[in-house]
Structure 1
Amino acid sequence: MSTHKLRTVSVVEAVTEQLSEDIFSGAFRPGDVLTETQLSERFDVPRQTIRSAIVMLLHDGILRRERNKSVYVPQFSEDDIRDLFAVRRLVEMETARMLSARGVLPEGAESAVRSMELLSDEDSCDELLKYDFQFHHALIEATGSKRLQKFYRSISAEMRLALTYFRSGDFSASRMAREHREFLDAIRTGNPTAAVEACRVHIEESEAFISQTIHAQRARLDPGRASSGIPDPEEI
């Protein structure tokens, strides 16, 4: 009989993981303020435990805190998205080139695409985002570079948080499955140039969708500012 070694986690780690999942799933929305008292009651743990969990999430960029103000779920500006996706292009386009040149097609990425293809447009956006995340992580893992993997993990939380904006937009599971399949097929060709181009197109389409969603949300909240072209104070 096979055995599986279970990973022991502390209460702080458990709360940190659950709170991050609550944020990623939309239980807490961008801009929501989170207090130690509120979270202590939610998870039925001491405030010191919550304080430690918050420190970890602040480090990962999942939460933010301004001087002398409360902790809150960050609202991404369009500049934030541009910066984050510029980093994604640098990392993932090189990853696509490397894997294509080596003839490496990670099974984890293929499995994620197959799972996407089984979803319908009526299915949960959270399921789609889960497979999207698995797909990109599988590509990075397949490079075999520990430093690249470590760097990618350092921006993963912010990327995952940015991708939750898909939940607010008119997402299409079938379209996203097709885009990921085309990207993977380009790597499969063994043509690094084609793989890099497919990666660039895929990332730029995601960036455009999220930026448009953020702009539309702000237009609904402040139609005058959006129509006048006045920049958001966060973007100045």
Structure 2
Amino acid sequence: MSTNGTGIGELADDRPLLGRTSTAERVADILSTRIAEGFFPPGARLSEDSIGGALGVSRNTLREAFRLLTRERLLVHELNRGVFVRVLAVDDVDDIYRTRRLVECAVVHGLGQPPYLLDGLVAAVTEGERAAREQDWKGVSTANIHFHRELVALAGSARTDELMRVVLAELRLAFHVVADPRALHEPYLIRNREILDALRAGERATAERLLVRYLDDSRARLIEVYARLVDDADDPTADD
């Protein structure tokens, strides 16, 4: 899959984000955001000429940005073919959820005495419910990601925040492959609110128990759907 001219034209709108001092890190941030939004879907080939021209950056800067995103496991370089948005294997999805369970549950378990600073969680829950009312399932997915980032942010650790930013960005590569985002994301809106309500009430143990069940159910559901999609992609007779 290759990026098309129309999409690259939209990418040019991001050029002002680079400011006067264009850096590989800023380019990587822009591309990471666009990948998370599904602008560059899994399997898409990233054209140096098109993207560099749209952003107005040098080939060297763009290649460094590609290297940064390869280290974050969002891109993969294929010899003599180019740079592509990574397509996750089922084992990758499973590993992502193991990481999430370790980090997110540890954050909730380690919370001190209430009350907790929950403004970010409140905003994420409200955002998700609004998106659902508008039938914006991509928006629901984004709100769910925000919810979990805000949950981890309760730890007050910049390092943990950065770890989850990378992990959740990688997870969205799997989300973009799923054909029915409503079925994947809508059931967790009420569960987000349940976790929020438990934390509001100062019931940390209840919130942790709800979170464990949430992550286990989400993992099982996504792997079930994703494994079927991977099997179909590998089977040339799947559409016969």
- TM-score normalized with structure 2 length: 0.76
Q: 1:234 is matched with which residue?
A: none
Alpha-carbon distance between aligned partners in 1 of 2:37 and 2:221, rounded to the nearest angstrom:
19
Q: Given residue 221 of structure 1, which amino acid in structure 2 is its aligned partner?
A: A
The AA in structure 2 aligned to 1:152 is M
Tell me the CA shift for residue 7 of structure 1: 9.6
2:21 match: 10
53-62 or 121-130, which deviates more: 121-130
Q: Answer yes or no: is 1:221 the counterpart of 2:229.
A: no
Identify the match of residue 22 of structure 1 among 28, 31, 34.
Answer: 34
Distance apart, 1:85 and its partner CA: 0.5
Distance 1:42 1:212, change over 3 A: farther
1:217, CA displacement in angstroms? Answer: 2.0
Q: Offset at 1:80? A: 0.4
How far apart are the structure 2 equivalents of 1:200 and 1:117? 22
The aligned runs of 1:74-89 (5 Å cut-off) are 74-89=86-101
Report which structure shows greater RCO (CA 8 Å, sep ≥6).
Answer: 1
2:123 corresponds, among 83, 89, 111, to: 111
The reply to whether residue 191 of structure 1 matches residue 203 of structure 2 is: yes
Structure 1: gaps (5+ residues):
1-5, 227-236
What does residue 233 of structure 1 align with?
none
Q: Give the Cα–Cα distance (whole angstroms) in 1 for the partners of residues 18 and 61 of structure 2.
A: 20
2:9 aligned residue:
none
For the residues of structure 2 that align with 1:23 and 1:65, how far apart are their CA atoms?
Answer: 16
Question: Which stretches of structure 1, 4 residues or more, deviate above 6 A after TM superposition?
Answer: none
Residue number in structure 1 paired with 2:169: 157
2:72 is aligned, of 50, 53, 60, to 60
Contact 1:95 1:143 in 2 (8 A): yes
Aligned residues: 220
Match of 2:106 in 1: 94
Structure 1 window deviating more from structure 2 (186-195 vs 132-141): it is 186-195
What's 1:169 paired with? 180
Q: Do structure 1's residue 72 and structure 2's residue 77 form an aligned pair?
A: no
Which of 145, 153, 159 aligns to 1:141? It is: 153
Tell me whether 207-216 or 7-16 shows the greater mean CA deviation: 7-16
Q: 2:136 aligns with which of 124, 134, 137?
A: 124
Alpha-carbon distance change, 124 to 148 in structure 1, aligned in 2, over 3 angstroms: same
- State which drifts further: 82-91 or 146-155: 146-155
Alpha carbons of structure 1 residues 102 and 151: separation in structure 2 relative to 1, 3 Å: farther
Deviates more, 1:66-75 or 1:88-97: 66-75
In structure 2, how many angstroms separate the alpha carbons of the residues matched to 1:179 and 1:72? 35
- Structure-2 residue corresponding to 1:231: none
Give aligned-pair identity as a percent.
Answer: 28
Aligned-pair CA distance for 1:33? 2.2
Unaligned runs of 5+ residues in structure 2 are 1-16
Using the size of structure 1 for normalisation, the TM-score is 0.78
Q: Report the residue type matching 2:144 in the other structure.
A: D
Q: 1: distance between equivalents of 2:158 and 2:31?
A: 27
SS across alignment from 1:11: coil
Amino acid at match of 2:218: S
Are the aligned partners of 2:128 and 2:143 in contact in 1 as well (CA < 8 Å)?
yes
Does the Cα contact within 8 Å between 1:96 and 1:187 map onto a contact in 2? no
Q: Secondary structure at the match of 1:128?
A: helix
Q: 1:85 to 1:221 in 2, by over 3 A?
A: same
Contact 1:100 1:187 survives alignment (8 Å)? no
Q: Deviations over 1:73-132 (max 9, x none)?
A: 111111101111101001111112233754425111011101212223653333222222
